[in-house]
Amino acid sequence: KTVCVTGGSGFIASWLVKLLLQRGCTVKASVRDPNDPKKVEHLLALDGAKDRLHLFKANLLEEGSFDEAIDGCDGVFHTASPFHNPTSDPEAELIDPALKGTLNVLRSCAKAPSVKRVVLTSSVAAVICNDRPRTPDVIVDETWWSLPDFCRENKMWYVLSKTLAEEAAWKFVQEKGIDMVVINPAMVIGPLLQPTLNTSAAAILNLVNGAETFPNLTFGWVDVRDVATAHILAFENPEANGRYCLVESVAHQSKIVKILGDLYPSIKFPEKCANDNPLAPEYQVSKERAKSLGLEFTPLKQSLKDTVESLKEKNFLT
C-alpha cells in the first residue's frame, strides 16, 4: 500500500511513519522544509526509509500544496496542524492552518481517485470543551462535541482550531463522498523520535525540570505508540468509521506528579498547585470504540517513564 502522512516530521507523525514503514507500506510524507535536518534526519534513518520513504515539501496554507504527495496514495493520514500557544494572532497561527489546511488537504484527496480512506488526526479537544459538566461519574464519549462559542469565550484557541477543522472536514467529506475516519487523542506522551521538543512532551518536561508548581489542570493521557497504531487500525479495518477517542486515563497534574515522584525519587517535583482553586475535577472518557478497533492501551505509568527516559536521552533535562 502507498500512503501519505501530512506533517511527517511531527511527534505523532514520526511514529506513524515508522510503524507504516515497518508494515511494508510506501510512505509519502509531507514536511514544510525538507532541507532542515532536524525535521527529516530521524525519518530518513528509519528502517525501510531508504527504499520506501519519499519526502514532499508542502504547506497547509498553500492551495494545492499536497497534490503531489497525495496523488496515487491508497490512504491519507492528515496529522499536520499547529499545536502550540499562539503568541499574538490565533487566527493566523492556529485557526487558518488547522481549518483551511484541512480543507486544502481534503481537496487534494478529492482530486485523487486512488484514495480509499482518509484518517484525520483530530483531538479530544474537539470533543470535551463545552458547557456540559465534567465530574468523576461523567463518561465522555464520541457523541460529544466542543462548542466553538464556548472556546471563543474562554480563549481556547488551539481547541477552537481543532473543533472547526474537524467540523469542516466532516461536512466536506459528506458532500464529496470521501471515506474518513477521525482519531481524537488526549494529551499524547511517550518516547520522542524527533530531536525537537513538542508541546505535549513539554508538559511533562516542565514538571521534571524543577517547576515550582503544577498547573491546576486535568487531562486525558495516551501513549504516542498507541495513537500511531490506532491510526493504522483505523485505515486497515474496513469497518472503522466515525470518531475514536483515545484516552488511557484521565488524571489531574497532581496525580502525574505523584506517579513521576514514585518513579524518580531523586528528582524534585513541584508539591504545590499553581492556584488555590479546587482541583479541576477528573472525569472518564469511553474506551469502547478504541477497543473495538483492537487497540490495547499502554498504562499511563509506563508512558510517563518512557517519556522521561526519552527526554533524558535527548538531553532536555536541566
Residues that bind ligand NDP (CB under 6 A): 7, 9-13, 31-32, 39, 59-61, 79-83, 97, 121, 123, 162, 185, 187-188, 198, 200
C-alpha cell at 119: 484518517
Q: Which is nearer to ligand NDP, 9 or 262 (CB)?
A: 9
φ, ψ of residue 82 in degrees (nearest 5): -70, 135
Judged by beta carbon, residue 245 or residue 265, the one nearer ligand NDP is 245
Nearer to ligand NDP, 81 or 307 (CB): 81
Q: Which amino acid appears at position 252 of this protein?
A: H
Q: Minimum distance from CB of 156 to ligand NDP (Å)?
A: 13
Nearer to ligand NDP, 32 or 52 (CB): 32
Q: How far is the CB of 66 from ligand NDP (least distance, A)?
A: 9
Q: Which is nearer to ligand NDP, 198 or 253 (CB)?
A: 198
Please give the Cα distance from 96 to 258 (Å, whole number).
38
Nearest distance in Å: CB 268, ligand NDP: 25
Q: Which is nearer to ligand NDP, 41 or 262 (CB)?
A: 41
Q: Which 3 state secondary structure label does DSSP give 29?
A: strand
Shortest reach from residue 283's CB to ligand NDP, in Å: 17
Residue among 84 and 268 whose Cβ is closer to ligand NDP: 84
For 153, the grid coordinates are 469565550
* Ramachandran region, residue 190 (left: φ > 0; alpha: ψ -120 to 50; beta: rest): left
For the chain, the first-to-last Cα distance in angstroms comes to 43
**Can you spell out the DSSP letters for 42-62?**
HHHTSTTHHHHEEEEE--TTS
Residue 155, phi then psi, degrees to nearest 5: 50, 40
Nearer to ligand NDP, 134 or 231 (CB): 231
Round to whole Å and give the CA distance between 95 and 165.
8
Shortest separation between residue 265's beta carbon and ligand NDP, angstroms = 27
Compute the least distance from the CB of residue 165 to ligand NDP, in Å: 8
Q: Which CA distances in Å does 167 have to 70, 236, 240?
A: 22, 23, 19
102 contacts: CB under 8 Å, gap ≥ 6: 60, 78, 81, 120, 165, 166, 168, 169
Q: How far is the CB of 164 from ligand NDP (least distance, A)?
A: 12
Extract the C-alpha cell encoding 141: 464519549
Min CB(130)–ligand NDP separation in Å: 17
Numbers of helices and strands, H then E, in the chain: 14, 14
Closest-approach residue to ligand NDP (CB): 10
